[in-house]
Amino acid sequence: MADEVVLLDFWPSMFGMRVRIALAEKGIEYEYKEEDLGNKSPLLLQMNPIHKKIPVLIHNGKPVCESLIIVQYIDEVWKDRSPLLPTDPYQRAHARFWADYVDKKVYEVSRKIWTSKGEEKEAGKKEFFEIFKTLEGELGDKPYFGAETFGFVDLSLIPFYSWFYAIETFGEFNMEAECPKIVAWAKRYLQKETVAKTLPDQKKVYEFVGQMRKRFGLE
Amino acid sequence: MAGEVVLLNFWPSLFGLRVRIALAEKGIKYESKEEDLSNKSPLLLEMNPIIKQIPVLIHNGKPVCESLIIVQYIDEVWNDKSPLLPSDPYQRAQARFWADFVDKKVYVASRKVWRPKREEQEEGKKEFLETLKTMEGELGDKPYFGGETFGYVDISLIPFYSWFHAYKVLDNINMEAECPKIIAWAKRCMQKEAVAKTFPDPKKVYEFVAQTRKKYVSA
């Protein structure tokens, strides 16, 4: 399967990280192209004309967009190793539900915390804790959301770990104190080389978020 | 594969209609339970405690939530006939992308048509029509979004057709003039038994929409 795989991405993007982890899990070699989101490349605009966003996976010249769709595509094409989704349809529907929950809830609420102040920030924090308590409920006593091994839901959520330091610092709370199970889960998952090598350093992300906040006039 | 199938629904719901069409396409017998969304049943709250919304498919006592996830589940379990998603992974990724576009863009824009203020309504209409024109671009000269046969993307979008009469009467949106290809495609879909027999009466939908709108829109 002599393949040409290119990933258009932006290093702090949680959505891009999902794809990087999936590619690493499957041991797929690819060319990484960093996008400047303030000056999107002609290639990005050509490959994702509808949303004009990263990540975009370009497989043998053909684009796949939207991180969870890309991850499922990777799982279906390179199906001979390291399955990312369960084989059972019910388990698969369950995994899709929770990855969709992460998509719909976690990004927005995290963003609220680092882009606002005062009452709005406090409201964001309250919502954030509720969402993460729900996720902790789903995790239960399992080592991973995927049960004995990590899977689709774990992959959809773990990139946010690289943002925890930024979120807790600007949000003025302690992630480990508020959501201990999630932090324990994340640290467990980070023992995997594919994840540890792929996630950016939390301090780098913190600096990046600090710069963004300056631009929004928050610093 | 058979077993007990129950659908928790609300008759005007676009999302519920997707599931009913998928069930009809597959010839699956099921029990339909109508929910009063202002007084949700204990069963709904038990089966979808996280989002507390319809539709919910309960298969042999186990719930599946979120309409597009349910449709994929139905396709994977009842995989002996009328495939709804393509078998090729790339085509499947494209189908998922466009159904996701319907959810994230077409639906969101359709809600804006009923914003409280006049200028916002006009803006909403413009945005809604733009998303439908984008869908027309994707449809191209194909009879269905799925190509030669009715499929996943068609299922995700066709329920909106049940609201077009309401949009025409209440919001003066002339779909035939604005999006003729969508109308032609919708009429083609309506010739399918699975769609025709599940579709609610557009007049009933109009009455429902007119009543609900009173709550949101200042005449």
Domain boundary (A25, A48, A77) is at: A77
Q: What pLDDT is stored for residue B117 in this prediction? A: 86
Q: Would you say how long chain B is, in residues?
A: 219
Which CATH superfamily hosts domain B5-77? Glutaredoxin (3.40.30.10)
Statement to judge: residues A147 and A170 lie in one domain: yes
**Which of B37, B70, B30 has the alpha carbon at shortest distance from B52?**
B37
Instruction: Indicate the range of A35-39, A176-180, B113-117 predicted with least confidence.
Output: B113-117
> What value does the mean pLDDT of chain B take?
94
Mean pLDDT of B40-60: 97
Statement to judge: residues A199 and A130 lie in one domain: yes
**What global pTM score does this model have?**
0.96
Statement to judge: residues A46 and A134 lie in one domain: no
Residues in chain A closer than 8 A to B96 (CB atoms)? 66, 69, 72
Statement to judge: residues A100 and A182 lie in one domain: yes
Of 1.20.1050.10, 3.40.718.10, 3.40.50.360, 1.20.1440.130, the CATH number of B89-218 is 1.20.1050.10
**Residue A168 belongs to a domain with what CATH number?**
1.20.1050.10
- Please write the tens of the pLDDT for every residue from B109-158: 999 998 888 888 999 999 999 999 999 999 999 999 999 999 999 999 99
Statement to judge: residues A119 and A201 lie in one domain: yes
Domain around A63? 5-77
Q: Torsions phi, psi of B9, nearest 5?
A: -145, 175
Statement to judge: residues A115 and A58 lie in one domain: no
> Do the Cβ atoms of B70 and A101 come within 8 Å?
no
Total domain count for chain A? Answer: 2
Statement to judge: residues A20 and A113 lie in one domain: no
Statement to judge: residues A135 and A210 lie in one domain: yes
More confident site: B217 or B37: B37
Do residues B157 and B102 lie in contact, with contact meaning Cβ atoms separated by under 8 Å?
Answer: yes
- Please write the tens of the pLDDT for every residue from A53-88: 999 999 999 999 999 999 999 999 999 999 999 999
B60: closest chain A residue by CA: A90
Rg of chain B on CA atoms, in Å = 17
Domain boundary (A29, A53, A77) is at: A77
Q: What pLDDT is stored for residue B219 in this prediction? A: 47
Residue B65 at interface with chain A, using a CB cutoff of 8 Å: yes
- The one-character DSSP state at B109 is H
Mean pLDDT of A14-38: 97
Beta carbons within 10 angstroms of residue B92's beta carbon:
18
Statement to judge: residues A208 and A161 lie in one domain: yes
Rg of chain A on CA atoms, in Å = 17
Q: What pLDDT is stored for residue A102 in this prediction? A: 97
Asked whether the predicted pLDDT for residue A148 surpasses 90, the reply is no
Domain boundary (A77, A109, A126) is at: A77
Task: Count the alpha carbons within 13 Å of B54 in the hemisphere toward its beta carbon.
Answer: 27
Residues in chain B closer than 8 A to A72 (CB atoms)? 92-93, 96
> Do the Cβ atoms of A89 and B69 come within 8 Å?
no
Q: What pLDDT is stored for residue B116 in this prediction? A: 82
Q: What pLDDT is stored for residue B162 in this prediction? A: 95
Statement to judge: residues A37 and A12 lie in one domain: yes
> Do the Cβ atoms of B93 and A73 come within 8 Å?
yes
> Do the Cβ atoms of A101 and B50 come within 8 Å?
yes
- Please write the tens of the pLDDT for every residue from B83-104: 999 999 999 999 999 999 999 9
More confident site: B21 or B214: B21
Residues in chain B closer than 8 A to A76 (CB atoms)? 89, 92
Q: What pLDDT is stored for residue B218 in this prediction? A: 53
CA distance B194 to B203: 20
**Which of A180, A141, A150 has the alpha carbon at shortest distance from A164?**
A180
Asked whether the predicted pLDDT for residue A52 surpasses 70, the reply is yes
3-state secondary structure of B216: helix
* Tokens linked to A188: 């467990």
Beta carbons within 10 angstroms of residue B118's beta carbon:
10
Percent of chain B residues topping a pLDDT of 90: 88
Mean pLDDT of B160-174: 92
Statement to judge: residues A150 and A113 lie in one domain: yes
Name, in order, each residue with C-beta under 8 angstroms of B204's C-beta and a sequence gap of 6 or more.
Answer: B12
Residues in chain B closer than 8 A to A95 (CB atoms)? none
> Do the Cβ atoms of A69 and B100 come within 8 Å?
yes
Query: Using N-to-C axis directions, what is the helix angle for A89-115 and A161-171, rounded to 10°?
Result: 30
- At position B53, the amino acid (one-letter code) is Q
- Please write the tens of the pLDDT for every residue from A97-109: 999 999 999 999 9
Beta carbons within 10 angstroms of residue A151's beta carbon:
22
A114 within domain boundaries: yes
Does B5-77 match B89-218 in CATH topology? no
A84 within domain boundaries: no
Task: Output the CA torsion sign for A114, A118, A122, A124.
Answer: negative
Asked whether the predicted pLDDT for residue A170 surpasses 50, the reply is yes
Mean pLDDT of B163-172: 91
Query: Cα-Cα-Cα-Cα dihedral of B170, B174, B178, B181, to 10°?
Result: 110
A60 within domain boundaries: yes
Statement to judge: residues A68 and A105 lie in one domain: no
**Domain ranges across chain B:** 5-77, 89-218
Residue B184 at interface with chain A, using a CB cutoff of 8 Å: no
CA distance B113 to chain A (A): 21
Instruction: List the 118-137 stretch of A: residues with Cβ below 8 A of B.
Output: 134
**Residue A61 belongs to a domain with what CATH number?**
3.40.30.10
Residue B18 at interface with chain A, using a CB cutoff of 8 Å: no
Q: Torsions phi, psi of A88, nearest 5?
A: -75, 130
Confidence band of B2 (pLDDT split at 50, 70, 90): low
